[in-house]
Structure 1
Amino acid sequence: MLHIGCHLSSSKGYRHMGEEALSIGADTFQFFTRNPRGSKAKQVNPKDAEALRDMMRAHTFAPILGHAPYTLNACAVDEGLREFARSAMREDIRTLDTYLPGMLYNFHPGSHVGQGIDAGMALIVELLEAILTPGQTTRVLLETMSGKGTEVGSRFEELGYILRSVSLNGKMGVCLDTCHVYSAGYDIVNDLDGVLEQFDRCIGLDKLYAIHLNDSLMPFASRKDRHARIGEGTIGFDALARCVNHPALRHLPFYLETPNELPGYAREIDLLREAYREENLRG
């Protein structure tokens, strides 16, 4: 079964997101845990969260994915910025544990802003050591990045190092973004098997918990993060259909972050479900 959804606005609450997901044929979704360009998290209505949990059980949802705001930088030079990242992520994990236990929480590793990749990775490890707890049910995911500027996490080796360095790495995993890895120089169009073999060597496929499924406006190895609609970019529909059907990936939840409104997401979900069904019939 293909578990697929898209990014939804959390402005109207948890239940509304669940209803929107069902309306477009999705059985999971992603949402920002707080304003993606700000700092404040909305107060959660417990009954609203309970309604979403009931809906997820009734419709066999895959885990939903909370996304940390873009303003977080776990490896900033400024200690005040790192403290904001620590406090926001602690609060987000606590909220998810309380209202949506057992779900996923994704964040961009950050930018070392001139300190160097080793210093950046060390600061990310330091942050994760400070916020992860043995009792949490939320799995924290590092996202693969495109490599623009001084981003950390565009190389599988970097993500593998961070995971191995965190003592509670059993509470962690990776979210692979198709646009980002293609822009970072991993050729998922012509050598998906080879890319996944590299991932397995550096990180371990058992650490892969989610896929951001996006086409790319930019060419291969551009190191630029510009998402495109499915089939309208340089990756192309066929390559992305191979991702949803690949034996190492097909059991994972897929989250669309393409530049769409709900009708566009519904079309993409229909197209990808059809590609998944056709592959199963051939198999």
Structure 2
Amino acid sequence: MLIGAHISISKGYEHAVNEAISIGANTLQFFTRNPRGSAAKALDPNDIEKMKKRVNETNFGPLVAHAPYTLNPASDKENARNFTKNIILDDLDRMAIIGAPYIVLHPGSHLGAGVEVGIRRIAAILKEVTESKKDVMILLETMSGMGTEVGYRFEQLYDIINLTESPENFGVCFDTCHLFAAGYDIVNDLDGVISEFDKILGLSKLKAVHLNDSKFGLGSMKDRHANLGEGMLGIGTIKAVLTHPRLEDKPFLLETPGGIEAYKKEIALAKTLVS
């Protein structure tokens, strides 16, 4: 099982990998830069070399990057879309150097223009940024549908990816909290939800899973993560996700409250659930 958590890279990539290993993880996720801004930590070639050596020694990975929350390719403002495009282009170059195969991206919010307009705007940005950047795959995250978010239905993700005209350059990241909040009943019909995804997008598109419980119920459209087994999904659903034969090869990444110590306990819990 590939199990990890969201780890800070503030002390470097080698430190992040070592911290992940110290809590029992064998994969991790990290923000490419300040999640609420645009500042990016300068890449240190020595740090990257040491990180890659550590990864190889321990059979660790994959490293999964996460784009900052400030990006909105669906924005109605041209300057915001240009900002998003430039950050993604820069991050794709930086992640290729680091060796992260995936970067998770929130599709964005249409801000009142409507889902269809948002889909076209997102696809236009993604088409442009991937024309010359193919070393790192962008994973569109399944969203909760909060506010004017785009990407909370599988059909919306399909339309975005299809409109880029290069669907091979894109994948999807499941978020268990978001799926449930968006109305996908993974508590009572996990098989059905996975089959629906397979029918619409193809299961080969699913590259990673954000493993989060949910503070709110089915169809709430509220993005509020809870610790494993302490929310509306419950420990039975978490176990079902972790042990599902069509998900077992995916990296499971915790984004639950409580920080490193909580992650350590939850990784240990996840391992008992699959044993």
TM-score, normalised to structure 2's length? Answer: 0.98
Question: What SS does structure 2 have at the residue aligned with 1:222?
Answer: coil
Aligned mate of 1:180, from 178, 181, 187: 178
The match for 1:207 is 205
Q: What does the per-residue CA deviation read over 1:17-64, in whole Å, with 9 as the maximum and x for residues that have no partner?
A: 001000000001111101000111111101111111111111112311
- In structure 2, the gaps of 5 or more residues are none
In 2, distance between residues paired with 1:24 and 1:223? 32
Q: What does the per-residue CA deviation read over 1:109-137, in whole Å, with 9 as the maximum and x for residues that have no partner?
A: 00001111111000011001110045622
The match for 1:136 is 134
In 2, distance between residues paired with 1:263 and 1:148? 29
Aligned mate of 1:154, from 152, 155, 167: 152
- In structure 1, the gaps of 5 or more residues are 278-283
Structure 1 segments, 4+ long, off by >6 Å, are: none
The match for 1:41 is 40
TM-score, normalised to structure 1's length? Answer: 0.95
Which amino acid is the alignment partner of residue 83 of structure 2? F
Indicate the percent of aligned positions where both proteins have the same amino acid: 45
State the shift of 1:181 in Å.
0.3
Q: What does the per-residue CA deviation read over 1:77-124, in whole Å, with 9 as the maximum and x for residues that have no partner?
A: 0000000100000000000112225x2100100000111111100001
State the shift of 1:141 in Å.
0.3
In 2, distance between residues paired with 1:74 and 1:10? 25
The match for 1:22 is 21
CA contact (8 A) 1:156 1:199 kept: yes
Which amino acid is the alignment partner of residue 242 of structure 1? A
State the shift of 1:237 in Å.
1.0
1:65-144 → structure 2 map (5 Å cutoff) = 65-101=64-100, 103-133=101-131, 136-144=134-142
Aligned mate of 1:254, from 252, 255, 266: 252
In 2, distance between residues paired with 1:180 and 1:73? 18
In 1, distance between residues paired with 2:116 and 2:17? 40
CA RMSD of superposed structures (Å): 1.0
The match for 2:12 is 13
CA contact (8 A) 1:147 1:153 kept: yes
1:59 matched to 2:58? The reply is: yes
CA contact (8 A) 2:5 2:28 kept: yes
Question: What SS does structure 1 have at the residue aligned with 2:72?
Answer: coil
The match for 1:264 is 262
CA contact (8 A) 1:97 1:136 kept: no
In 2, distance between residues paired with 1:89 and 1:181? 25
